[in-house]
């Protein structure tokens, strides 16, 4: 279980927050709130790119705040700059399994199956600069899932998708959480996404510390 206990952050242009939550394997939490309130900052704290003001962050009882970014059991889908432009989509996705990009036949098949689930198998040998924003977003989502980390952080994973592909991505994420027992935290500006994902909701406008 991923657990935040009295986690504080913010100051300056970002309001100060006091956060408590629990997300178990197989569960999804959607983080919402107006622009600039600190949604991405919270993901950066969980992943290790930023430090909180105080509090605890635990995974299965282990103190994550003591671990550097590369040792945390977390995959992070950023809003942008997710793919290496000089490598094909297939080559980008192979790095989910190996730092050298060397994979087994079964792993290559899993890449193909994952892209099929997202409706983008035909893009596997394309180069990222040739993709639309929505296509690149789904390739990056596939890479985050293929890494097999038990915690997945998604920063606006549906922002570039049309209605049809948005629903497909929502169904895909629900399936990943349930079938593969991942704890998923997704930032979204759409208040309906928590319902669509059968997720817990964390509204940062309700966690502000008022002085």
Cα–Cα distance for residue pair 55/144, rounded to 1 Å = 27
Q: How many CB atoms lie within 10 A of CB 112?
A: 14
Q: List, in order of start, the domains of the chain with CATH numbers.
A: 1-71+149-157+184-211 (3.40.50.300), 74-148 (no CATH)
pLDDT in tens, 113-158: 999 999 999 999 999 999 999 999 999 999 999 998 999 999 999 8
Task: Report whether 38 contacts 14 (CB < 8 A).
Answer: yes
Say what the pLDDT of residue 145 is. 94
Do residues 114 and 146 touch, judged by C-beta distance below 8 A?
yes
Evaluated on CA atoms 57, 61, 66, 68, the torsion sign reads negative
Side-chain half-sphere of 202: how many Cα atoms within 13 Å?
25
Average pLDDT, the chain: 93
Tens digit of pLDDT for each residue in 11-40?
Answer: 888 999 999 999 999 999 999 999 999 999
The dihedral over CA atoms of 147, 52, 29, 171, expressed in degrees to the nearest 10, equals -30
Q: Which helix (H) or strand (E) is 191 found in, with range?
A: none
pLDDT digits (tens, 9 = 90+) for 37-66: 999 999 999 999 999 999 999 999 999 999
pLDDT tens for each residue of 161-185? 899 999 999 999 999 999 999 999 9
d(CA 28, CA 182): 8
Q: Does pLDDT of 211 surpass 70?
A: no
The neighbour count for residue 88, using CB atoms within 10 Å, is 16
């Amino acid at each position: 279980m991923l657990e935040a206990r009295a986690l504080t952050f913010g100051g300056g242009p970002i309001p100060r927050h006091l956060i408590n939550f629990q997300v178990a394997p197989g569960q999804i939490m959607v983080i919402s709130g107006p622009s600039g309130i600190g949604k991405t900052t919270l993901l950066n704290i969980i992943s290790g790119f930023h430090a909180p003001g105080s509090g605890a962050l635990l995974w299965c009882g282990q103190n994550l705040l003591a671990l550097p970014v590369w040792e945390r059991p977390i995959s992070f889908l950023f809003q942008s700059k997710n793919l290496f432009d000089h490598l094909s989509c297939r080559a980008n996705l192979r790095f989910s399994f190996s730092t050298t990009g060397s994979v087994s036949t079964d792993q290559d098949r899993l890449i193909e199956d994952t892209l099929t689930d997202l409706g983008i198998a035909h893009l596997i040998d394309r180069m990222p600069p040739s993709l639309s924003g929505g296509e690149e977003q789904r390739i990056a989502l596939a890479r985050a899932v293929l890494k097999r980390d038990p915690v997945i952080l998604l920063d606006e994973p549906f922002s570039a998708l049309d209605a049809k592909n948005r629903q497909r991505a929502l169904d895909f994420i629900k399936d990943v959480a349930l079938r593969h027992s991942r704890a998923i935290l997704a930032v979204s500006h759409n208040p309906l996404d928590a319902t669509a994902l059968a997720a817990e909701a964390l509204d940062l406008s309700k966690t502000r510390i008022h002085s």
